[in-house]
Amino acid sequence: MSNWWQELLRFFLRGLTLQQLIHMLIILIALIIITPASIKEWVDIRNPEILPDHWMYYAMLLCISYVLNRVMEFIFLASSDKYKKYLSKRDEAKVIVETERLFNSLSIQEKEVLAFAVMANNKIVLKHGDPVALSLMRKGLLHRSGVTYSASGKEKFVIPDVWFHECYMRFAGKADELI
């Protein structure tokens, strides 16, 4: 059968990982080293006679190290969560800026081709070697989907899935306006 103090320790150490336990012990050792002797004497004056010398002092330092470990863990988790949110917002803003820069750099002819591709349900046929199609391919806004066998010298192009929604939002119904 376990002693009461073993049960008490088990209660406090139940949720601790090995890393947290090591941090707690480091904090305990640091507290033992930096705590002035006057505090040790002050605690020993109030130590009941049934307890060995300095027992209450070390128990108090153990409790303080436990609380400090939990506070440091909370601060670390809260700050890392905030940092992750900051990074995700920064990445989202970067994607938005890059998207705006990409679409603002398009020429009228490139916008027309994308508008016709959106109007044709993401399937467009252009002549082989079309400079506008090649420019859009370099920018990643068009991909070849194959060669047409019905019309020689023509190629099929599609807008990649990652860009189709953005192209649809920008160019749906605007093919006639761009001409």
Digit-coded pLDDT (tens) for 111-150:
888 888 888 888 888 888 889 888 998 998 898 886 666 6
- How many other C-beta atoms lie within 10 A of the C-beta of residue 126? 20
- Locate 104 and state its tokens: 């603002």
Digit-coded pLDDT (tens) for 60-78:
888 899 899 889 999 999 9
Residue partners of 29: CB distance under 8 A and separation at least 6:
none
**How far is the C-alpha of 179 from the C-alpha of 169, rounded, in Å?**
18
- Locate 118 and state its tokens: 């959106």
Mean model confidence pLDDT for the chain: 84
Digit-coded pLDDT (tens) for 36-62:
888 888 887 777 777 777 788 888 888
C-alpha separations of 6 from 2, 17, 128, 170 in Å: 6, 18, 81, 68
> Is 0.85 surpassed by the pTM of this model?
no
